[in-house]
Structure 1
Amino acid sequence: MLARVFLTRVIEPGDEIGGRWLGAFGPSEVARRLREGGPPLPGVSEARWTGLRERAVRADPRRDLAVARDAGVRFVAPGNSEWPAQLDDLGDARPTGLWVRGRPSLRMWALRSVAVVGARACTEYGAHMAGTLAAGLAERGWVVVSGGAYGVDGAAHRGALGAGGATVAVLACGVDRPYPRGHTELIGRIAEQGLVVGELPPGDHPTPSRFILRNRVIAALTRGTVVVEAAYRSGSLVTARAAQRLGRFTMGVPGPATSGLSAGVHELLRGEAALVTDAAEVVELVGEIGELAPVRRGPVLPRDLLEPGARRVLAALPARGAPHPREIARGAQTTEDETIARLYELRALGYVERHGDGWKLTRQAMMSVRGGRASR
């Protein structure tokens, strides 16, 4: 494990060349070669090897472990009982290890988790949808995973926490150094009630590339990714596309067609992403067989409860006039006797009234029929 702790200080997250070294030589040998020097390992130039060697000289894994221990942080490596096996799907881009802050088991929580990500500069609608989705997922026993950032990420974490549920923040920096600074209190609360996870050792700082590479961990760790508001150029779309490559479910929450902050989500929805509007629809996709969202339908009107024959006769009556049962029968495509029987049934229910030899709709029926036609 000490070799892997050392390598988190030397090799950048998501470095596939470094991942190939680990697969070919093992962490101890890679760490030894970086410490002692010699010819470069395969796939890197002399200049890059020199840069890695300079990092290696400054790395002190025992100090990192001591600092982590003081901050309540542990190191989880591949092969450890807490390691989430789904991260192995990243292949050579798999994390060297993860620094974890919080009491629960990362492996157990990741088994039933969903990522909720989106725009940092989100709208009130985006924040509302993220918080509501996360709360609904938490209430259903799902772990909400996000990146701890402003906007949608923060709303998702707060929604899960507010529902008394579980949430995981995956950071692009050392987990002992909350980022952004404005979320120090939120990330501290996540660490108390949930988990804060990152690939970088204690004290390390975020960079633009580290944010992008962090997103692959969010995608791999979870069963599916929901995007709530994202412009065409958005790190959230990087997470969604990583999820698609890994065979995870990809979902999007639609927004106004005129909103640039929803344009990236709509582009996803035009592809293979599924449209979702609430937690039940998310769970229907990522959950077990039988975890179905409720069937959505409009209100049941009194005429919906009529027998099919009676509905056909009612529909055949014009809005004006009082036609003879023979004419009504032609419109309903039935016999005159059947039509007369249905008309008396409808009269008892208040839908029609007799005028001499003809029949006409009552005021109640006129409103019902108009409403039904409008809904169609």
Structure 2
Amino acid sequence: MAVACFNFNPFLSPLVAAPPGRSGRAAFLRSRAASLGPLACGAVVGRGRWRLAAAAEPRAVQEQPARSEASGETGAAVPPKASSKLVLVVGGTGGVGKTEIPLLSVSVPALLVFRLLYRQLVVASLLSRNIKSRLLLRNPEKAESLFGKQDESVLQVYKGDTRNPNDLDPQMFEGVTHVICCTGTTAFPSKRWDGDNTPERVDWDGIRNLVSALPRTIKRLIFVSSIGVTKYNEMPWSIMNLFGVLKYKKMAEDFVRSSGIPFTIIRPGRLTDGPYTSYDLNTLLKATAGERRAVVIGKGDKLVGEVSRLVVAEACIQALDIESTEGQIYEINSVKGEGPGTDPVKWEQLFSSAQST
């Protein structure tokens, strides 16, 4: 088994969480105006497009490291340079789920479902790096409650459903350089299946429609899949595949691989930490990976274990720029320990070690 192990530090800075309740959150957001800038909501712009516009000069939320060579001994944050990327983040609009298989005598790694939470963490981290993001959401109204009112130069929101190819208007992809896709639904029938939200429709039809609509100029597509997809006919994975979720994810992987678009596929283990119930960007930035910061990367669909949601989000973002990850498929877990943080050199070592072992 090809496995690389490194340590992972939380990549999001500790900020004060918002008080509970609508009034508390509103007061909190006002108190953070100095860091987010005076903001005002914009209007619907064009077909399927929603704008979160600022009244004043736009400001991206910056990551605030405790100390770096650039910031000196005082620990003052140095704003990251604006990135030339435009990253399209595609994910579900519901909560985060996971497959629970009770009363089994065998240990079954629960299948991960990559819905709203992954998108939240990925987008929060992109914003902290001053990387322009574009969201494709079924319910774009949720973007403001999650990330605050951001200027269009920082965050763009489009309404669309990957299950419906007619929703994927070409203007959604204009200027997009990279894509992170983390859609998904539950493995077993649940309320989340309401409205034709089944594994076949989300994990197969949706991915096929999205990849078919992407321009061939995309520099990298990061596709979040799942461990166990190559073993869906084997025990205990066949139990989780009773309704086809692993089979459809594997079909989606194969479609991505044959698309001609440069890709990296990430297969996480069972999710740990969270779920987070944040209502604004600041509380998302407060999220940490707890003790599970050491990263384990493998290949060959042999890795079984757990992984922090934050580790998966960081792996997706790091893979965008690491050339050696193009055309590769990785499994990823995390264990107790310290780690690479946002250091691209350490992440490149992790990915490269997994490929060469």
Question: Is this a same-fold pair by TM over 0.5?
Answer: no
TM-score, normalization: structure 2?
A: 0.35
Bigger RCO of structures 1 and 2 (CA < 8 A, at least 6 apart): 2
Q: Greater strand percent: which structure?
A: 2
The structure whose Rg is larger is 1
- Please identify which structure carries the higher helix content: 1
